[in-house]
Structure 1
Amino acid sequence: MIVKRSVTRSIAQALTAIVLLSLLSTGLALITLSSSLRDAEAINLAGSLRMQSYRLAWDATREPQQLAHHLTLYQQTLDAPALHNLDRPWVPQEVINRYHRLRSAWPQLQQNLQQGDANLYQQQVAIYVNEIDRFVLGLQHYAEVKMHLVAVSSLVGLIAIVALALMTIRFTRQQVVGPLNALVTASRYIESGNFAFPPLNVVQENELKVLSQTFSGMASRLQTHYQLLQSTVRTKTSDLTEANRTLSLLYNSSQMLTASPLHPALFESVLANVLANEKVEAIRLESDKFLFCAGVSRSEKAWQRVPLQQDEQQIGELCWQASDSEPPEALMRSLAAMLGRAIWIWQTQKQYQQMLLIEERATIARELHDSLAQGLSFLRIQLTLLRRTVDKSDHAAHTIIADFDRALADVYRQLRELLATFRLTIEQADLVAAMQAMILPLQEQVDAQISFDYQPGLQSLDAQQQVHVLQIAREAVVNAIRHANASKIAVEYQRTDEGEHLLTITDDGVGIASLDEPPGHYGLTTMAERAARLSGSLSINAQAQGTQVALRFSPRPPHPLE
């Protein structure tokens, strides 16, 4: 921007004018006063000429001896420098003319005195003295004029200086102080972080207008940068808050997964924690071997999926339905990695526990086979030899031997079933596979149709729970085959709306007549004990055709003493 009227130049010009006016008025007064230094002397000398003129008249008549001396003094007074210097251009012409008339008239009067013509001198001296008086009066007026000039020039100079000073002050207030105050106010607004300061309206095309426009432009750019910085800070704060929330969620999930032994309820608690802290409506972990859920899913919404990987092998999926906005992808991937690792550890622990259980049961089976089974076999051989030895006519003895043989056969059969039970295996911590492996040999031995239906995701039980469920199912199926003469046996394993596990074995046989077991049979009692170990309930109900055995229990973490 071009500055048309510089403030500094205007103020400098005003100050220069004030200084010049001061110098002018002061100089004029000094010059006038310096020129008036000998005015009093001139007036005094001019006045003395009048007295000397009368004294010469006295000398001409009374003291002639003094006449020559006084004439010399008079001439010196008339030619004095104070009077002679009146012949200057600035001296009034009237004063100069009167002085010249005095000088031109004196030679005639001097001649009269020197010739002794005192009477003629006395006749003319009155006229001469009048001329002296007029000369003195002219000198007086001239001195007064100079004093008036000094007073007027000083007054005019003072008025001009005051007026110019007031104009300068007004100009400074309008064009300097006002804009500067506005700039100070604007700077305080900016200092407090408020860029909506009053507008800087400077009309004059000067430096302050350039400064105001530059300041306004700088403030506008600063506001843009400040808003950008605020936006960046808000974004970074939001990112940090989101990252902190993500880390907190991952930390809490990690704490939950490591604070207690892994079990299905723990995974569901982790999913419930994610549901409570993230914008998801439903979330679940699923595979063909487990299913953990939290939230209420909606069929019209698509599921987002992240695979659960462990050693480059997919073991399941983390699925969720978002609400208004998607949760951070990095969070879900980190959560999926954490849960995948935890599920892999949980399955490994289950498999290890089951392997220990299977090994323990196999050891018991071997011990039973090597001890009790061998003893029972020896007793059956001895009983056969006894039957051959006893006389056939002894019916009482043969009756006792027959009863003993039947009892021994029942005990031997129960021992074989117990050995078969102990030799059941559960591979890869998979209850469904173990159930299918249990049903397959039974299906091959009988003509009855055995079906198995299950809900995916219910395999998430520990080793002890799986063995109890498997043994209850086997006992119920064997009872339906052996005692009910069923043609169809249906095994179903589902989850109820309350989250409980439900195992039902339904057959179309003759139905159970009584829940009281005959002497020497403990199958129903064992099933009830196993249901109690699961903290569940076992119900056996007769139907219109057949019987239904129902096991209902809640999954729970494994007890360290079981």
Structure 2
Amino acid sequence: MSVKRPVSSSLAKAFFYIVLLSLLSTGIALITLASSLRDAEAINIAGSLRMQSYRLGYDLHADPDKLVGHRQRYQQTLNSPVLQHLHHWYIPQDVQQRYGQLHDSWQQMDARLAQHDTQWYQQNIQGYVGNIDLFVLALQHYAERKMILVVIISLLGATGIFLLVFFTLHRIRQHVVKPLRQLMTASQQIQKGHFSYPPLNIHLDNELGLLASTFDRMSGELLKLYRSLEASVEEKTRDLHDAHRRLEVMYQCSQALNTSQLDVHSLRHVLRIVYEHEAASYLELVTDDNWCLQQGKQDPQRPLGSLPVNMQDNVLGELRWQSAQQHASIPLMRSIATILGRGLYINQAQKQYQQLILMEERATIARELHDSLAQMLSYLRIQLTLLKRAVPDENAPAHVIIDDFSRGLNNAYRQLRELLTTFRLSLQQSDLTAALREALDLLQSQTQAKLSLDCRLPTQALDAQQQINVLQIIREAVINAIKHSGASDINVTCVTDPDGAHSIYIRDNGIGMSTTAEPDGHYGLSIMHERAERLNGTLDIVSPSGGGTEVQLRFPHAGQPKRQPM
């Protein structure tokens, strides 16, 4: 039996027609509404012609000097762009006709105004204003007809969509829901061990008909297998007892990773479980970013087994172990390596997710600052410029105050832009080394100095917040060196000390720093110190004997107490 009408194709066609009808009705309605965007402006401009007509009569009688200017303004209003659009083909003939009559009448009126024919103008002004009223009324009727057309199109579209949805649901019920219920009933009967069930509809020309036919054949084969499986249950039970120990280890390892936040303690717990169940006497997990976890004591006399730790064909590290029964432990260790690979992968994904959350929060703050404080500062700068122009040049004290205020305002605006740049700094990946290299590459384009990076920090040992703080401290220190040191070489070194703490050095060969005191209105160093405190570490700025400046950041790994400043 072949599938002639797949369910997916039928549903796709129905949804396609529904979407097509929705887009068609919505598109026509939107086009109609878009053509009405300037209707109010056209009516308003057309209505203003009435007032200008009376004003021309007043100028003709009482103020002839303004007559020429008001005639030109009237001509501009009559030929405004929004009224010129009335010449398009889709504009009703009555609107175009009224507009054309108004043009023709104006030519005659304008000629009489040029001749200062007051008596003729007063006799014909009422008729001309009447033509304006008829033109405004025609515009109003045209706008109303478009609104009625939008309502009719919306109603027709909604009715068509409702009918299509009703027809689709009815067809789904007959060709999908009902056969699925029959299959569910048959499955429940087989689950209970009863291989007799109500007949299935195998004549449908879709996947469910093919599934019902296949299900019938499968149930017959299953009945035969059901009898033979009972004989092999005892044999399989013995095999299951042998695998129980391995399954228990794997279960506990999986439970160790079944936490909301995977970290180094969770992975270390997995190694401890394998070690405590005597599956291995020594375990070592090594990742490709200089990170290593060990459990037990290595015996130089025993061979060391190893397996790659990977996830989705991505090698994340290597699992090494020693065991009295190395060959018997290989299947278990392969499963443990898979579990550890999943744990490392989830840990990286969680870090990236945390980074995205942090970046979203910081982007939100940056947008709020830009939309509020930055806009206000820009407004104040404009107002200050206007004030400076309004103050006479001979008022020197006022200009001095305005200049001081301008410098302070410009300094505040510059600091705000730097703050917005810092807030918009992003960490696109969980690999700290790659993120640092990406940030330094961006800064390299802003300086002639050579920027170099030597990062040997284990990314797995740092959470998302720590990576963000480390990245921003390094970036701020490099920016300071670029701006103020005049250095030709700026080196960034990140290492892990023998005691497990992490150290970062940003060194330049520039002019050095005479003092670490920050000028008024600058907060870069203070922010760097605050970030170091968030890392539970210390930040020092020293002047090496060879010249230049070196920024030293030291912070402990997770669970290590804060180090005292040296």
TM-score scaled to structure 1, two decimals?
A: 0.51
Code of the residue aligned with 1:478 in structure 2: it is: I
Alpha-carbon offset, residue 325 of structure 1:
6.2
The answer as to whether partners of 1:303 and 1:319 remain within 8 angstroms in 2 is no
Code of the residue aligned with 2:345 in structure 1: it is: W
**Residue of structure 1 equivalent to 2:317:** 317
Gap change, CA 1:247 and 1:496, over 3 Å in 2: farther
The answer as to whether partners of 2:261 and 2:350 remain within 8 angstroms in 1 is no
Gap change, CA 1:511 and 1:440, over 3 Å in 2: same
CA distance in 2, matches of 1:286, 1:505: 26
**Residue of structure 2 equivalent to 1:351:** 352
Alpha-carbon offset, residue 387 of structure 1:
3.0
**Residue of structure 2 equivalent to 1:294:** 294
Alpha-carbon offset, residue 446 of structure 1:
0.9
Answering whether residue 539 of structure 2 is matched by residue 551 of structure 1, we say no
Alpha-carbon offset, residue 247 of structure 1:
4.6
**Residue of structure 2 equivalent to 1:487:** 488
> Which residues of 2 match residues 153-552 of structure 1 at below 5 A?
246-247=246-247, 249-259=249-259, 261-271=261-271, 274=274, 277=278, 279=280, 281=282, 283-288=284-289, 291-294=291-294, 304-310=305-311, 312-320=312-320, 322=322, 326=326, 328-455=329-456, 457-458=458-459, 460-544=461-545, 545-552=547-554
CA distance in 2, matches of 1:387, 1:301: 86
Deviations 1:238-263 (A, max 9, x none): x9999666455434433432356211
The answer as to whether partners of 2:455 and 2:495 remain within 8 angstroms in 1 is yes
* SS of residue in 2 equivalent to 1:517: coil
**Residue of structure 2 equivalent to 1:204:** none
Q: Percent identical across equivalent pairs?
A: 45
* SS of residue in 2 equivalent to 1:503: strand
**Residue of structure 2 equivalent to 1:46:** none
Code of the residue aligned with 1:449 in structure 2: it is: K
The answer as to whether partners of 1:301 and 1:321 remain within 8 angstroms in 2 is no
The answer as to whether partners of 1:492 and 1:504 remain within 8 angstroms in 2 is yes
User: Could you say which structure has the larger radius of gyration?
Assistant: 1
The answer as to whether partners of 2:430 and 2:459 remain within 8 angstroms in 1 is no
Gap change, CA 1:513 and 1:337, over 3 Å in 2: same
RMSD of the TM alignment (CA)? 3.2
Gap change, CA 1:526 and 1:337, over 3 Å in 2: same
The answer as to whether partners of 2:279 and 2:323 remain within 8 angstroms in 1 is no
The answer as to whether partners of 1:263 and 1:556 remain within 8 angstroms in 2 is no
Alpha-carbon offset, residue 490 of structure 1:
1.0
Deviations 1:108-139 (A, max 9, x none): xxxxxxxxxxxxxxxxxxxxxxxxxxxxxxxx
CA distance in 1, matches of 2:437, 2:464: 17
CA distance in 2, matches of 1:506, 1:529: 20
Gap change, CA 1:301 and 1:445, over 3 Å in 2: farther
Code of the residue aligned with 2:530 in structure 1: it is: E
**Residue of structure 2 equivalent to 1:155:** none
Code of the residue aligned with 1:389 in structure 2: it is: A
Code of the residue aligned with 2:314 in structure 1: it is: Q
Code of the residue aligned with 1:447 in structure 2: it is: Q
Code of the residue aligned with 2:257 in structure 1: it is: L
CA distance in 1, matches of 2:536, 2:300: 34
CA distance in 1, matches of 2:538, 2:300: 34
The answer as to whether partners of 1:264 and 1:292 remain within 8 angstroms in 2 is no
Alpha-carbon offset, residue 281 of structure 1:
4.8
Alpha-carbon offset, residue 268 of structure 1:
3.7
The answer as to whether partners of 2:502 and 2:557 remain within 8 angstroms in 1 is yes
Deviations 1:35-77 (A, max 9, x none): xxxxxxxxxxxxxxxxxxxxxxxxxxxxxxxxxxxxxxxxxxx
The answer as to whether partners of 2:298 and 2:322 remain within 8 angstroms in 1 is no
Deviations 1:66-101 (A, max 9, x none): xxxxxxxxxxxxxxxxxxxxxxxxxxxxxxxxxxxx
Gap change, CA 1:530 and 1:297, over 3 Å in 2: farther
**Residue of structure 1 equivalent to 2:233:** none
The answer as to whether partners of 2:263 and 2:347 remain within 8 angstroms in 1 is yes
| Aligned pairs, number | 317
Gap change, CA 1:378 and 1:451, over 3 Å in 2: same
CA distance in 1, matches of 2:262, 2:458: 16
CA distance in 2, matches of 1:405, 1:333: 69
Gap change, CA 1:486 and 1:392, over 3 Å in 2: farther
Gap change, CA 1:305 and 1:393, over 3 Å in 2: farther
Alpha-carbon offset, residue 418 of structure 1:
1.2
Gap change, CA 1:345 and 1:331, over 3 Å in 2: same
* SS of residue in 2 equivalent to 1:305: strand
Gap change, CA 1:498 and 1:283, over 3 Å in 2: same
Deviations 1:139-197 (A, max 9, x none): xxxxxxxxxxxxxxxxxxxxxxxxxxxxxxxxxxxxxxxxxxxxxxxxxxxxxxxxxxx
The answer as to whether partners of 1:280 and 1:320 remain within 8 angstroms in 2 is no
CA distance in 2, matches of 1:372, 1:460: 38
Deviations 1:323-349 (A, max 9, x none): 776371112111111111122222222
Deviations 1:360-392 (A, max 9, x none): 211221121122111111222222333333344
CA distance in 1, matches of 2:272, 2:500: 14
Alpha-carbon offset, residue 459 of structure 1:
5.0
**Residue of structure 2 equivalent to 1:132:** none
Q: Which runs of 5+ in 2 are unaligned?
A: 1-238, 560-566
Gap change, CA 1:474 and 1:504, over 3 Å in 2: same
Deviations 1:3-59 (A, max 9, x none): xxxxxxxxxxxxxxxxxxxxxxxxxxxxxxxxxxxxxxxxxxxxxxxxxxxxxxxxx
Q: Which runs of 5+ in 1 are unaligned?
A: 1-238, 558-562
**Residue of structure 2 equivalent to 1:67:** none
Gap change, CA 1:302 and 1:536, over 3 Å in 2: farther
Alpha-carbon offset, residue 553 of structure 1:
1.9
Gap change, CA 1:314 and 1:298, over 3 Å in 2: farther
Deviations 1:439-483 (A, max 9, x none): 122110111111111116335422212111111111111111122
Deviations 1:279-312 (A, max 9, x none): 4556123135x733326889999864323333x3
Alpha-carbon offset, residue 264 of structure 1:
2.6
TM-score scaled to structure 2, two decimals?
A: 0.50
The answer as to whether partners of 2:285 and 2:319 remain within 8 angstroms in 1 is yes
> Which residues of 2 match residues 10-25 of structure 1 at below 5 A?
none
Code of the residue aligned with 1:553 in structure 2: it is: F
Deviations 1:199-251 (A, max 9, x none): xxxxxxxxxxxxxxxxxxxxxxxxxxxxxxxxxxxxxxxx9999666455434
The answer as to whether partners of 1:373 and 1:415 remain within 8 angstroms in 2 is yes
Gap change, CA 1:408 and 1:305, over 3 Å in 2: farther
The answer as to whether partners of 2:309 and 2:317 remain within 8 angstroms in 1 is yes
* SS of residue in 1 equivalent to 2:429: helix
Code of the residue aligned with 2:400 in structure 1: it is: T
CA distance in 1, matches of 2:302, 2:432: 32
Gap change, CA 1:554 and 1:326, over 3 Å in 2: farther
CA distance in 1, matches of 2:367, 2:301: 57
